[in-house]
Amino acid sequence: MGKSQKIAKLLGERQKIEKKIEELQQSCQHPTKSIKNVRERLDSTTMVVRWTCNTCSSILGIPNNDELQNYLKQ
């Protein structure tokens, strides 16, 4: 198997995994959340502060200024 075939296979597997993660995140009730540093996009190295679900790691929103200041004090 050549490199291009291996890459194509891995990309296909990644797409299936990402779809399964998306399905699980959509069905999650997001029972608890916390503020965390997360990547801005999957293909980015830029980190941003967001509310995330503790169960499924889904991004739920942007903290307001007071929440952000409390997070930064920790």
Predicted confidence at residue 74, as pLDDT, reads 80
- Judging by DSSP bridges, how do beta strands 59-61 and 33-39 pair with one another? unpaired
* The model's pTM: 0.78
| For the chain, domain boundaries | 3-73
d(CA 5, CA 57): 31
Angle of CA points 67, 43, 6, to nearest 5°: 145
Predicted confidence at residue 44, as pLDDT, reads 79
Predicted confidence at residue 12, as pLDDT, reads 97
Task: State whether residue 50 is helix, strand or coil.
Answer: strand
| Tens digits of residue pLDDT in 23-72 | 999 999 999 999 999 998 877 789 999 999 999 999 999 999 999 999 98
